[in-house]
Amino acid sequence: MKAILSIILAAALIPVRPATAQGVKEKIQVKARLGYAIGGTAPIGLPATIRSIESFKLTPNFMVGVGGKYRLSEKLGLHAALHYEIKDMDGEITTKGYHMKVKMDEDELEGVYTGHVRQKVRQRMFTIPIQLTCEISRRVQLKAGPYLSLLVDKDFSGYAFDGYLRKNDPTGIKVVMGSKEGEWATYDFSDDMRSCQLGVAVGVDWTLGSQWGLSADLSWGLTGIHHSDFKTVEQTLFPIYGTIGLFYRII
Partner 1 sequence: MLKYSYILALLALLLTSCIKGEPQNMECDILEAWVDDDRLAEHFAQNADMRIIDVPSSEEQLTFVVRNRSALPAMPINFKLSPGATIFPVGGSLQDFSQGPVTYTVTSEDGQWQRKYTVDFREAVMPGHLYDFEDFELSSDGKYYVWFDMADDGTKNSIWASGNEGFMIAKPNAPSEDYPTVPEANGFDGYCVKLTTRSTGSWGRMFKKPIAAGNLFFGSFDSRFALTNTLKTTNMGIVYTKEPIKVTGYYKYTPGEVFTDKDSKQVTSRTDEPAIYAVLYLNHDEQGNKVMLHGDDVRTSPYIVSQAEVSTLPPTDEWRPFEMTFEASAPIDASLLRDGGYNLALVFSSSKTGDMFEGSVGSTLYIDKVEITFKNEE
| Residue 39 touches partner 1, criterion: CB under 8 A | yes
| Residue 58 touches partner 1, criterion: CB under 8 A | no
CA distances from 88 to 56, 59, 60, 122, 186 (A): 11, 6, 7, 4, 18
- CA 247 – CA 140 distance, rounded (Å): 13
| Residue 206 touches partner 1, criterion: CB under 8 A | yes
For the window 218-247, what string marks contact with partner 1 as x by the rule CB under 8 A?
x---------------------x-x-x---
- CA 95 – CA 51 distance, rounded (Å): 5
User: Residue 62: how many CB atoms within 10 A of its CB?
Assistant: 15
Asked if residues 152 and 197 have their Cβ atoms less than 8 Å apart, the reply is no
- CA 155 – CA 241 distance, rounded (Å): 17
Q: Which of 57, 178, 196, 208 binds partner 1 (CB under 8 A)?
A: 178
Residue 213 C-beta: closest distance to partner 1, Å? 11
- DSSP of 71-115, one letter per residue? E-SSSEEEEEEEEEEE--EEEEEEEEEEEEEEEETTEEEEEEEEE
| Residue 14 touches partner 1, criterion: CB under 8 A | no
For the window 113-152, what string marks contact with partner 1 as x by the rule CB under 8 A?
----------------------------------------
Residue 78 C-beta: closest distance to partner 1, Å? 22
Enumerate binding residues for partner 1 (CB under 8 A): 38-40, 42, 45-53, 56, 96-97, 104-109, 112, 164, 166-167, 169-178, 182-183, 185-186, 204, 206, 214, 216, 218, 240, 242, 244
